[in-house]
Structures are given as structure tokens and as C-alpha cells.
Structure 1
Amino acid sequence: MDKTLTILHQNLSFVLEGVKKVSYQDRPIPSIQDPHDVQVHVKFTGVCGSDVHYWQHGSIGSFILTSPMVLGHESSGTITSVGSAVTTLKPGDRVALEPGIPCRRCEPCRGGKYNLCLHMAFAATPPIDGTLAKYYVLPEDFCYKLPDHVGLEEGALMEPLAVAVHVTRQGRVGPGDKVVVFGAGPVGLLCCAVARAFGASVVIAVDIQPARLEFARGYAATGVYEPAKGVEASVNAERLREMHGLGRGADVVIDASGAEASVHTGIHVLRTGGTYVQGGMGRDVISFPIMAACTKELDVRGSFRYGSGDYKLAVGLVAEGRVDVKRLVTGTVGFREAERAITDVQGGKGIKTLIRGVED
């Protein structure tokens, strides 16, 4: 038999070669190089806004595509083999993948903030290949075993849920808090759900798309607000406070949109001494209502990916039924339809689209 036929599709991968130029390539099967690593057969991968952005523009900020790169980083799968030092996982275990490997040695890593690692190797961030392949290799401690009653589809949603957990923890959301979340995309919706799980009594979702607000109302938000067009941010903030009885203002504002107008409105809707968390990424430079932030003595914080304990908590919230991620899945496509999934997300179709993995 021709040997070239025997290796066909051993590790079929969805590769971004350039702006709006993709291909399916049979890459070498990644082998376990470290005794603490595991090999995973990827079963489901969610389409993220960053995948769309790289497909559209070939770059995000300083991360620029200079050579072909496998896309995808929101994944779940089944363990196929383990390194000699692995003790907590075995072949056949179903896991959610945390797709960034820190160096574990730099100052942020040693200080407990590995999400800020100076040498982070994050999936589908140039030049690191992502998870839209048949097989992927990760360290044991970056794979989270799923309980028997949690499906692999849900496992693929642990990545955006972990982002939402980190954002909400940055806001120090607690029982009785009044929280306003700007942006009702997947992360914003999950921030609403996590805030409720953390005990927030009021969670208001803000978006300019009525359909997303309607979904948010039936999902985790206690109320919604569609900003009026052509008015000052302070006016929208006052209307929001009055409509939802926020009194002096919200305790915590989370921006998951990255839109400049949302940033302004969010600062104005907070009470004095409130907390503002920027989770969404928009333009590199925007104007900022610094006077309001200073005179109200706001705690203004950033949020980037996820850190220690966030993935574990995400799995726990789903396992305990405190956050329902399945409701966000509005479509699942085959591996060969990956580009269509990206164009659908780019066109604003649905909430979360999943791509099935390559079967044996």
C-alpha cells in the first residue's frame, strides 16, 4: 500500500494562511514531549471573536499573522494518551481545554497571575497554533475533567465562561450587588449569569441589538436597556438608573463590548466608589471620562483572559447547575464547514457556534 495513503488525515487542521484565506491541512500528530503532558482528541470548538478578527484582518494589536496558523481555542475533547508523570487523567477522560501555556517562571507567573505571563503561548495567537485540529497537546493541569453529566458541547463553552468568571471576580461582585453589563454577546451574557451565581440581586444587560437583549432577559439578566441613539452618555446613564431603580447608581459595571459609548455610559452609571471592569477590547485608544472616574473615586480595573481557579470554578458552576451554557449554543457545524461558521459569526448570526471535531 502507498504509505502516503496511510497517513492521510492523521491530524486534519483548519489553517489560516492569510486574510480570508484558509485551508485544511494534514499536520503531524503532536506527540507528548513532557512527562506531564496529555494528548487530546478535540471534539468541539467554539468560534470566538478573535478567530473572526484574525480571519478578517490577519492581526489583533501587536499579534500579527506572519505564517500559517491553526485557528481555534475554545475546545473540549477526549484524552487519547498521557505522559509518564500524569496522575489525574487517563485515556478516555473527557476534558475542557485551557488553551494558554504560561512559562511558570516569570514574575507574573510566580506572583500568581499567570494570565499576564511574559512568555505566554496562547492557542491561535500568532505564531502559536490553535485547537481546530484532530489532536492537541496540553499540560495535565490545563485540562479539566468534566463530570459525567456535563457534555463535551458544554466543555467547549468553559473557555468563554472562564473569561466571564475572571471578569466578574475582577469586579468583586457579591450578594446584593447591582450590576450593569454592557454587551450581550457570549461573554457579556455569561457575565450576567456569573454575577447572578455570585449573588447579585440586580443584573442589567445593555446592548444596541434588541434580539440580544430579548435573549438576555430570558437568560440571566433581571432587566435590559437599549441605549438611545444621538444622546450624551450621561443622559443614557441617567435613563438607565431611573428605569431600573438603581438609585445612586450601579455597584459594579462590566463592559464586555469594547465600544467607546459603552465605556462612557458605564462610568456615568456607577455610584460613587463603585467598580468598573473593562473586559471587552475595542480600539487601542479611546476617549475616557476621567473627571467622572476621579470625582466618584471609582475603582477602574482591566481583565485579561483567566487566571488561577477560574476554569475550575467555571466547571463547578456548570456542574452544579448554577450557570447554563448550553442555551448559548445556536448552531453546530461539521469540521469541513469551519469557514462558514466563522462567516456566520462575523455576520452576527446566533450567539455561539460550535465546530465538531474530526472523527476517526
Structure 2
Amino acid sequence: MRACGICGSDGLYISVGGIPPRQGATPLGHEPAGEIVSIGAGVRDLAVGDHVVLNPMAAADGIIGSGGAQGALSEYVLVRGAEAGTHLVTIPAHIPFEVAALNEPMAVAGHAVNRTQPKAGDKVVVFGAGPIGLGATIAYKLRGAHVVVVDIVPGRLEKALAVGADAVINSASAPVDELLIDLHGEAPPSFARGRRAGTDIYLDAAGVPQVIETATRLARHGATLGVVAVHKRPVPLDLGALLTTELTVVLSMGYPTEIFEVTRDLIENWQRYALIVSDTIPFAEAQRALDLATTPGAADKVVVTFP
């Protein structure tokens, strides 16, 4: 391993004592980038010295860092039956390992974007400017969408603009409804009551009930609401009120096909993706990295690097 990102779920695994049935024995780290140091005789299309990103979900001994026998927060990971394009893919040597380690979370963001089926020219609002929200912002922009990002942390909103967002809204100090209608226009009259924004796609990457409330209140007829954030408590949804909007609600989990589809974008736009990484911490201080990443508001994307 040369770099491994810290995910919010790592803190969850620690707090609950592992992942059943492996409680207390869950190796951590599922955002890996590394360098091949040894290969078996039957391995094809890979060579010692290749820089690679892995598919944690393809490992033969369970999902890497999420209940499997291995975690990427360790010096080495053994990929059994390794096949290029299935278990891992090579990346150019000029891509920093800490940026390459974004491949897995960007695949999560990419799947969320795919689920909402954006088209060039669509008007999109992303709630939450954490790593997934920023990754989704980049993905939407690469597809030709107009993207507004909403968050309450000024530094995150600045980063959203830096990665390409067309506009940002600080929902702690500004009226989201009015500003979004100003930015995306007002939807034409329909059966839905009240003023509605012309926004085509709402993406919840924040995981707070207010996002769902805002999106359903503003959604025009035929809009799409995507949810990639983890909501830890039930969120009420008034289906009767939503009936007239014919709102499409899609949920997003993991990356069924996106794990290596996103690699091309990461390579071509690595300097933009690099802005998502807020802290790089050496492996010798991995506990500090975990503490930093799991302290609300202390950091954005923390990546552990290896010598």
C-alpha cells in the first residue's frame, strides 16, 4: 500500500466494535492505492512496479476493509487470483498516490450521479460538500450540467467552487429556496402547489432531514431526487404531497460498475480531484488520521500515506 483514504464508515466500524460477524476483528481501510511488489506466475497484464488502484469488493476473502480478512490500512494487501480490470487497474506513475486513493469514494459518487441519469444542460443541486458531494459535483460538471452546491461550512463551499461548481449557497445564512429559484429559474405552473425551482436533479450527499424537506418542497414536476448520504434516523416523506410532482426518488449504494469507470476521469482531471484531499498523514500516525477524520468538522478527506 502507498495510500489509503479514511472513510466515515471506518469510524462507525470502530464505534460498534467491528462488522458482525467479525466484531472486534475488522481490518480497516477500503480506499486503497498501491504499488505491485510481487506477482504470481499465473498473473497476466500486470508487473512489479505498476501503480494500481484496487476494487475492494472484488477480493476473494471478503470486502477489503469492510468485513473482509484484509484492510488497506496495512503495509501489504494480497490480491488472490488477480485479474487486471477486475481486481485492480494500473494508473500512470505521475498520479500522486493520495489522489489515486480517491478512486473508491469517487466511484461511490459516480454511481450516485449515474443513478440520477443527468443530461448535458441539466440543472443540478448537490447538498453536502464533503468528499462524495465534491466528487459528484465534478462528475456532473464533466457531463455538462449546471451545478449549485449547498453546505453550511464556508471552507467547503470555497472548495466546491474550486472544483468547478457554478454557484454555492450557505444554507446557514442564506434562503436556499429563493436563491435556487434565482439560479435555476422558476418551474412552469403544474399541479404542484407553491413556487418550484427549475432544478432537474437534487442530490443528497449530506444526510440531514432538512435536505429531503427542501428538495421535496422545491421539486418541480418530473424532477429527480438522489440519495447517496446515509441517514441514521428515519426521515418523513409526505407521499400525498409529492403525488402531483411525480418526483423520481433514487437511492445509491456502492459502485456496481463504476469502480474503474471513474479511474479514467480521475487520471484526466487529477489536479481537480486533488483539491478534495484536505490532509495527508503518515502511516506511523494512523490513529491520529482516524481521530481527525472522525471528528466532525475537523477535516474533509484524510488520506494515510505509506513510506
Q: Are residues 1:56 and 2:4 paired?
A: no
Aligned partner of 1:173 in structure 2 is: 118
The one of 282, 286, 302 aligned to 2:251: 302
How do 1:213-292 residues align onto structure 2 when only pairs under 5 Å count? 213-228=157-172, 238-248=177-187, 249-292=198-241
Q: Tell me the CA shift for residue 65 of structure 1.
A: 5.4
The percentage of aligned residue pairs carrying the same residue is: 32
Aligned partner of 1:28 in structure 2 is: none
Q: Tell me the CA shift for residue 322 of structure 1.
A: 7.6
* Contact 1:44/1:156 (<8 A) preserved: yes
Aligned partner of 1:43 in structure 2 is: 2
Counterpart-to-counterpart distance in 2, 1:210 and 1:290: 34
SS of the aligned residue for 1:319 comes to: helix
Counterpart-to-counterpart distance in 2, 1:339 and 1:207: 28
Aligned partner of 2:51 in structure 1 is: 94
The one of 152, 169, 182 aligned to 2:97: 152
Q: Are residues 1:191 and 2:120 paired?
A: no
Q: Tell me the CA shift for residue 240 of structure 1.
A: 3.6
* Contact 1:197/1:322 (<8 A) preserved: no
Q: Give 5+ residue unaligned stretches, structure 2.
A: 188-197
Counterpart-to-counterpart distance in 2, 1:346 and 1:322: 25
Q: Are residues 1:349 and 2:288 paired?
A: no
One-letter amino acid of the structure 2 residue matched with residue 274 of structure 1: A
* Contact 1:124/1:131 (<8 A) preserved: yes
Aligned partner of 2:277 in structure 1 is: 329
* Contact 1:46/1:156 (<8 A) preserved: yes
Q: Are residues 1:71 and 2:28 paired?
A: yes
Q: Tell me the CA shift for residue 354 of structure 1.
A: 1.1
Q: Tell me the CA shift for residue 99 of structure 1.
A: 0.8
Counterpart-to-counterpart distance in 2, 1:174 and 1:322: 23
Q: Give the number of the structure whose residues are more often strand, by fraction.
A: 1
One-letter amino acid of the structure 1 residue matched with residue 116 of structure 2: G
SS of the aligned residue for 2:225 comes to: strand
Q: Tell me the CA shift for residue 315 of structure 1.
A: 1.3
Q: Tell me the CA shift for residue 164 of structure 1.
A: 1.0
SS of the aligned residue for 1:272 comes to: coil
Counterpart-to-counterpart distance in 2, 1:59 and 1:70: 9
Q: Give 5+ residue unaligned stretches, structure 1.
A: 1-41, 104-119, 230-234
Moved more, 182-191 or 322-331: 322-331
Counterpart-to-counterpart distance in 2, 1:173 and 1:225: 21
Please provide the CA RMSD for this pair.
Answer: 2.3
Aligned partner of 2:191 in structure 1 is: none
Q: Tell me the CA shift for residue 154 of structure 1.
A: 1.6
One-letter amino acid of the structure 2 residue matched with residue 226 of structure 1: N
* Contact 1:193/1:323 (<8 A) preserved: no
Counterpart-to-counterpart distance in 1, 2:23 and 2:176: 43
Give the 3 Å change call, closer, same or farther, for CA 276–323 of structure 1 in structure 2.
farther
Moved more, 318-327 or 278-287: 318-327
Counterpart-to-counterpart distance in 1, 2:66 and 2:266: 27
One-letter amino acid of the structure 2 residue matched with residue 153 of structure 1: E
Aligned partner of 2:288 in structure 1 is: 340
Q: Tell me the CA shift for residue 127 of structure 1.
A: 5.4
Give the 3 Å change call, closer, same or farther, for CA 102–293 of structure 1 in structure 2.
farther
TM-score (normalised: structure 2): 0.87
Aligned partner of 1:135 in structure 2 is: 76
SS of the aligned residue for 2:214 comes to: helix
Give the 3 Å change call, closer, same or farther, for CA 45–253 of structure 1 in structure 2.
same
Q: Tell me the CA shift for residue 83 of structure 1.
A: 3.4
Counterpart-to-counterpart distance in 1, 2:155 and 2:57: 33
Moved >6 Å (runs of 4+): none
* Contact 1:276/1:298 (<8 A) preserved: yes
Counterpart-to-counterpart distance in 2, 1:289 and 1:213: 30
